[in-house]
């Protein structure tokens, strides 16, 4: 299993930007905080790291709340639609949520809690229930330093007064709102990087997912965690490489022959313009994705796009778009594939033998510009179309 990133984007820290940020400081009780979380007025952006606290570490935080000890503040970023993005403090916020729910998430859910760019895919409708979508072990307060009065107890086992103490605890919140520049909210990820100085630097895909988060990128991220990426192609989305592959696929499919200039600027613009499916509907994109991805997973595997030691995302990208060019107009695409599978496999051998394609595969980083990509896609599509003649 491996993660991959595209190498043709230059990471540029916006050192030339200056910002006007308006800070608002206020207190909010835990009950109000979780209610807003449940209503999706408070969201976790995709660049946040996974939930990584151990049960013992999480228990210590709850113990501090119960003892009345001060807790670190939360950093929010306020969007124009009055939604608040958690810039710092998601570990504490989720710990409160999990404890009141009574379930400490299992390892798999631990790792995938921030797969989506927001919390929109988590059901928060049962804040006070031990039932629901969170799977794991009972969240009992564990550790040698936990107060004996509530050690080994769940939220439901606390006294009514202790439960009330948690819900009524005030958390200090620093809310930042960017007033300029008005055409982007890039200060959000810069604030995140500077608060988390020891964290891994954000790559361009993670930054654009943050700046243009919405229904479209949420859809992409959900597709990026399909198990077939791991079982068929041997890659995962830990560094957002699969999410970027899907974004590139959709964006380039709709702009073949017209895409010019920087791939970074092109992808930034593509995601921003279709943020809420303004250009292409979710239904339209789903049909395109489902048809072409079905053929890709049935016809290819990890070895198909690993000509050397590592997975070649460019190679898969141009092949995927070429496949989509063929199957997008076919209604009974599964039946068509069953009757054309052997011929497709044979024609793909011709693709790999093509000198232009061979040069592209061996020099993908140098060749992955707009003109070359369009040319390669046209070449592969032309060869594969012979199966549909």
Q: Which residues contact 102 (CB under 8 A, 6 or more apart)?
A: 129, 130, 138, 139, 154, 155, 156
Q: How far apart are CA 29 and CA 27, in angstroms?
A: 7
| pLDDT band at 14; cut points 50, 70, 90 | very low
Name which residue leads in pLDDT, 191 or 228. 228
Sign of CA dihedral 293, 298, 304, 306: positive
What is the pLDDT averaged over residues 200-225?
Answer: 82
Name which residue leads in pLDDT, 219 or 43. 219
pLDDT at residue 184 in the model: 64
Residue 139 near residue 129 (C-beta atoms within 8 A): no
pLDDT at residue 317 in the model: 94
Reply yes or no on whether the pLDDT at 314 is more than 50: yes
| pLDDT band at 38; cut points 50, 70, 90 | confident
The CA–CA distances, whole Å, from 228 to 77, 107, 232 equal: 35, 20, 5
Name which residue leads in pLDDT, 359 or 368. 359
Q: How far apart are CA 270 and CA 214, in angstroms?
A: 13
Reply yes or no on whether the pLDDT at 318 is more than 60: yes
Closest among 340, 316, 341 to 228, alpha carbons compared: 316
**pLDDT tens string 242-263:** 999 999 999 999 998 777 777 8
pLDDT at residue 364 in the model: 66
DSSP 130: S
Least confident range of 19-28, 166-175, 334-343: 19-28
What is the pLDDT averaged over residues 228-241?
Answer: 91
Beta sheet of 42-43, edge-to-edge order = 20-29, 170-180, 74-78, 84-88, 42-43
Q: What is the largest CA-CA distance in the chain?
A: 76
Residue 173 near residue 162 (C-beta atoms within 8 A): no
What is the pLDDT averaged over residues 200-214?
Answer: 75
Sign of CA dihedral 249, 254, 257, 260: negative
pLDDT at residue 9 in the model: 64
pLDDT at residue 45 in the model: 76
> Exposure string (b/e) for 328-345, b if CB count within 10 Å is 16 or more?
eeeeebeebbeebeeebe
**pLDDT tens string 72-131:** 999 998 887 788 988 889 899 999 999 999 999 876 554 444 433 333 333 333 444 444
| pLDDT band at 334; cut points 50, 70, 90 | very high
| pLDDT band at 61; cut points 50, 70, 90 | very high
Reply yes or no on whether the pLDDT at 182 is more than 80: no
Name which residue leads in pLDDT, 273 or 373. 273
**pLDDT tens string 120-135:** 333 333 444 444 455 6
pLDDT at residue 130 in the model: 42
Percent of the chain with pLDDT over 70: 82
């Amino acid at each position: 299993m491996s993660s991959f990133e595209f190498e043709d984007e230059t990471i540029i820290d916006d050192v030339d930007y200056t910002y006007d940020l308006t800070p608002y400081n206020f207190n909010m009780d835990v009950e109000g905080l979780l209610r807003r979380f449940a209503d999706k007025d408070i969201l976790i952006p995709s660049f946040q790291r996974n939930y990584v606290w151990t049960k013992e570490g999480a228990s210590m935080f709850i113990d501090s709340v119960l003892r009345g000890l001060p807790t670190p503040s939360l950093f929010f970023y306020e969007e124009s639609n009055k939604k608040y993005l958690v810039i710092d403090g998601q570990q504490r916020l989720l710990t409160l949520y999990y404890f009141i729910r009574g379930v400490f998430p299992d390892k798999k859910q631990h790792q995938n809690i921030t797969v989506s760019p927001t919390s929109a895919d988590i059901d928060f409708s049962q804040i006070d229930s031990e039932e629901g979508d969170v799977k794991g072990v009972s969240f009992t307060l564990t550790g040698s330093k936990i107060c004996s009065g509530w050690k080994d107890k769940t939220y439901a086992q606390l006294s009514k007064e202790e439960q009330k103490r948690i819900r009524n605890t005030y958390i200090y919140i620093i809310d930042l709102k960017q007033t300029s520049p008005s055409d982007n909210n890039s200060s959000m990820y810069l604030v995140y990087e500077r608060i988390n100085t020891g964290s891994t630097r954000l790559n361009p895909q993670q930054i654009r997912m943050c700046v243009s988060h919405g229904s479209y990128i949420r859809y992409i991220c959900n597709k990026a965690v399909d198990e077939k990426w791991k079982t068929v192609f041997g890659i995962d989305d830990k560094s957002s490489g699969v999410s970027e592959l899907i974004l590139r696929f959709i964006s380039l499919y709709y702009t073949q022959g017209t895409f010019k200039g920087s791939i970074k600027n092109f992808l930034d613009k593509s995601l921003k313009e279709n943020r809420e499916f303004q250009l292409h509907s979710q239904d339209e994109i789903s049909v395109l994705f489902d048809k072409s991805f079905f053929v890709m997973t049935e016809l290819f595997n990890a070895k198909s796009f690993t000509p050397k030691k590592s997975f070649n995302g460019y190679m898969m990208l141009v092949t995927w778009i070429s496949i989509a060019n063929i199957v997008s107009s076919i209604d009974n695409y599964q039946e068509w594939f069953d009757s054309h599978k052997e011929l497709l496999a044979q024609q793909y051998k011709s693709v790999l033998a093509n000198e232009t394609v061979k040069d592209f595969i061996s020099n993908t980083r140098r060749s992955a510009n707009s003109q070359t990509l369009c040319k390669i896609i046209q070449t592969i599509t032309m060869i594969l179309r012979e199966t549909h003649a």
